[in-house]
Structure 1
Amino acid sequence: MEIGVYTGYSLLSTALALPSDGKVLALDITREYYDMGLPMIKKAGMTHKIDFREGPALLFLDKLLQDENNKGTFDFVFVDADKNNYLNYHERVIDLVKVGGLIGYDNTLWSGSVALSPNAPMTKIVKGLRGHVIEVNKYLAQDLRIEICQLTIGDGITLCRRIS
Structure 2
Amino acid sequence: MHFLPEDLDDYIIKHSEEEPELLQQLTRETYQKILQPIMLSGPYQGRVLSMISKLKQPKNILELGTFTGYATLCLAEGLQKEGEIHTIDINEELADFQRKYFDKSDYGSQIIQHLGNAIDIIPKLDRTFDLVFIDADKPNYVNYFHLIIDKLNTGGIILSDNVLWHGKVVEPLDSKDKSTKAVLDFNTLLKEDTRIETVVLPIRDGLTISRKK
Q: TM-score, normalised by structure 1?
A: 0.85
Counterparts in 2 of 1:42-81, with a 5 A limit? 42-64=103-125, 70=127, 73-81=128-136
1:144 partner letter: T
Counterparts in 2 of 1:14-33, with a 5 A limit? 14-33=75-94
* 5+ long unaligned stretches in structure 1: none
Structure 2 counterpart of 1:139, from 189, 195, 198: 189
**Runs of 4 or more off by more than 4 Å in structure 1?**
none
Q: Which has the higher contact order (CA 8 A, sep 6+)?
A: 1
More moved, 18-27 vs 134-143:
18-27
Deviations along 1:53-111, one digit per CA (max 9) or x if unpaired, are 111111111223xx6xx3xx210011111110000000010000101001111100001
Do the aligned partners of 1:5 and 1:34 also contact (CA within 8 Å) in 2? no
Q: TM-score, normalised by structure 2?
A: 0.66
Structure 2 counterpart of 1:84, from 139, 151, 159: 139
- The whole-number CA distance in structure 1 between the counterparts of 2:72 and 2:100 is 13
Match of 1:118 in 2: 173
SS at match of 2:133: strand
What's the CA shift for 1:139? 1.2
What's the CA shift for 1:128? 4.2
% identical aligned pairs: 38
- Give the alignment's Cα RMSD to 1 decimal: 1.7
Counterparts in 2 of 1:87-98, with a 5 A limit? 87-98=142-153
Structure 2 counterpart of 1:4, from 49, 57, 65: 65
2:162 partner letter: N
* 5+ long unaligned stretches in structure 2: 1-61
2:198 partner letter: I
Number of matched pairs: 151
Do the aligned partners of 1:76 and 1:97 also contact (CA within 8 Å) in 2? yes
